[in-house]
């Protein structure tokens, strides 16, 4: 098993005819994803490498049976694109777009909850279940099928972590970048709940960063509800307060948001912590060695 996506996922791509959308769609298809449709308003009836393009998500879903969406729509229109997918009945929307205005995202959460649609992102690398499906922009070749779940706020750190896991013989069940914006669709706890129910996932690597309270919430959930081993890393030990570091959400604005405070909370929650990223592969091998695959 895997979480969120698998070989049965029928993927639709919003913004498929744009530069980023067309490139990454071809990469997903090359990896083995079943991309059944694209959506670009005004370009319905065309095709992109044999994939039919529709004017609306609703018409694409009705014609192809798509059940998940990957969004590459420019930031001024991305929130509406996400809500359009939810309105069309899709269960999962993965939004790659960065720079979506915060006031736009404030409308998205309540809309999706009313329609039972899960959002990953925005400003994220997406989701991959190695050997099954890729819905995102991550390099597929560094992944390996296995039993370790990966969830991260950072895209590039996700790639580094996955590479280290693979180099140490640890395959992954599903890898998810939840996004680095202040308002995102799915939290660490949301994803941990899914990993907890997945019998294939036998351990989890959780990658956090400064800013916000998501890591602390994850630590509390692991301590009280999660039975599988968790290895953690928090980026930003040297970040100064009040300065944004990369992601819009990576800014220390209050108590409990520094890397040191997050690391302490995660340790208290029973998460095995690594303070140097270069040590993560070895630490994962030591922690997860008995479930290598």
Say whether 103 is catalytic. Answer: no
- pLDDT for position 250: 46
- 220 by Cβ neighbours in 10 Å (0-12 / 13-18 / 19+) ranks as middle
Q: Which of 24, 143, 247, 272 is catalytic?
A: 247
pTM (2 d.p.)? 0.93
**Mean pLDDT in order along the chain per 10 residues (293 residues):** 93 97 98 98 96 98 98 98 98 96 94 94 97 97 97 93 96 96 95 97 95 93 97 78 50 64 95 95 92 59
CB atoms within 10 A of CB 93: 28
Q: Is the dihedral of CA 199, 200, 202, 207 positive or negative?
A: negative
How distant, in Å, are the alpha carbons of 11, 70, 169 from that of 66? 6, 11, 34
**What is the set of domains in the chain, with CATH numbers?**
10-120 (3.40.50.720), 138-291 (3.40.50.261)
- pLDDT for position 238: 56
Quote the DSSP letter at residue 34.
E
What is the spatial distance between Cα 33 and Cα 158, in angstroms, rounded to a whole number?
A: 20
What is the spatial distance between Cα 147 and Cα 46, in angstroms, rounded to a whole number?
A: 40
Residue 210's Cβ-side half-sphere holds a number of Cα atoms within 13 Å equal to 23
What is the spatial distance between Cα 286 and Cα 80, in angstroms, rounded to a whole number?
A: 45
């Amino acid at each position: 098993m895997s979480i969120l996506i698998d070989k049965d996922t029928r993927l639709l791509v919003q913004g498929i005819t744009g530069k980023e959308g067309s490139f990454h769609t071809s990469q997903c298809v090359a990896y083995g994803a079943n991309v059944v449709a694209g959506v670009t308003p005004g370009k319905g009836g065309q095709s992109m490498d044999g994939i039919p393009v529709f004017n609306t998500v609703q018409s694409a879903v009705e014609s192809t049976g798509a059940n998940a969406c990957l969004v590459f729509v420019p930031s001024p229109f991305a929130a509406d694109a996400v809500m359009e997918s939810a309105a069309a009945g899709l269960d999962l929307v993965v939004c790659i777009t960065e720079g979506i205005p915060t006031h736009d995202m404030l409308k998205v959460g309540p809309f999706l909850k009313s329609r039972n649609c899960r959002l990953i992102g925005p400003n994220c690398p997406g989701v991959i279940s190695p050997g099954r499906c890729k819905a995102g922009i991550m390099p597929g070749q560094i992944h390996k099928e296995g039993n370790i779940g990966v969830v991260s706020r950072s895209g590039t750190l996700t790639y580094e972590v996955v590479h280290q896991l693979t180099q140490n013989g640890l395959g992954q069940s599903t890898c998810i970048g939840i996004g680095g914006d202040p308002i995102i669709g799915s939290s660490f706890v949301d994803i941990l709940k899914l990993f907890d129910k997945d019998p294939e996932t036998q351990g989890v690597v959780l990658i956090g960063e400064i800013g916000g309270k998501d890591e602390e919430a994850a630590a509390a959930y692991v301590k009280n509800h999660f039975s599988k081993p968790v290895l953690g890393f928090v980026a930003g030990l040297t970040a100064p307060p009040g300065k944004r570091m990369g992601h819009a959400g990576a800014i220390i604005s209050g108590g409990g948001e520094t890397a040191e405070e997050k690391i302490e909370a995660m340790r208290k929650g029973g998460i095995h912590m690594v303070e140097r990223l270069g040590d993560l592969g070895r630490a994962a091998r030591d922690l997860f060695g008995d479930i290598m695959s």
